[in-house]
Amino acid sequence: MIDKINSKAYVLMHDNIDTDQIIPAKFLKATDRIGFGKHLFANWRYDKNGKESYDFPITTKQQGNSILIAGNNFGCGSSREHAAWALIDYGIKAIVSSEFADIFKGNAYNNGILPIQLNTKQVLALLAELNISQEIQINLEDQTISSGTIKFPFEIPALKKQLLLSGTTETEYLINMRDEIADFEQARSIINL
């Protein structure tokens, strides 16, 4: 469930971060969503001996932020849902980018992550303000993201907003509508007679 988020942000301003970089393929053996966070960006976070590099902006030592600001075309590559699982398991609730791969964006929504798409100038302005204010505020109800003196609106499909605000998945939403769906199907079958 997401309503308001106030957090510092991880900043990873690389373009074309693909799902294999988010969660490398060698960690895809599990089908349970829990535990993928420790492997988030594993090829960048850990050296060849498995020791975490504290030069990388997302480390266990700095864990606790719930916002990631990333470069253009975030989540490109394969359609693996594990990328969203790794991000949410690590504690990421919102990602800000100038562009998201469509399948990743859908996986993010479906796993309770808010993908906020701003234009490049807005992302850079947010980063500049973040250097001063240190925190970002996201208000899903108002559809705004702000830091210090700047505030930007963002777009989100109405249903996705409703689902994130309520903490409901699309599957749960459809199950909750089963009576309405049955009534619709019943009415449709009468019309087609």
Is residue 48 within 8 A of residue 74, CB to CB? The reply is no
The SS3 call for residue 121 is helix
- Number of domains comprising the chain: 2
Residue 162 lies in a domain: no
CATH code, domain carrying 143: 3.20.19.10
Could you tell me the residue range of the domain that residue 179 belongs to?
A: 168-193
Residue 148 lies in a domain: yes
Residue 192 lies in a domain: yes
Residue 163 lies in a domain: no
pTM exceeding 0.75 = yes
The SS3 call for residue 146 is strand
The one-digit pLDDT tens for each residue of the chain (193 residues) are 899 999 999 999 999 999 999 999 999 887 778 889 999 999 999 988 989 988 888 887 777 899 999 999 999 998 889 999 999 999 999 999 999 999 999 999 999 999 999 999 999 999 999 887 789 999 999 999 999 999 999 999 999 999 999 998 888 878 887 888 777 887 777 776 6
Residue 137 lies in a domain: yes
Residue 193 lies in a domain: yes
Q: Are strands 4-7 and 150-153 parallel, antiparallel or unpaired?
A: unpaired
Q: Are residues 111 and 190 in the same domain?
A: no
Q: Are residues 139 and 180 in the same domain?
A: no
Q: Are residues 139 and 185 in the same domain?
A: no
Q: Looking up tokens 């988030």, which residue turns up?
A: 40
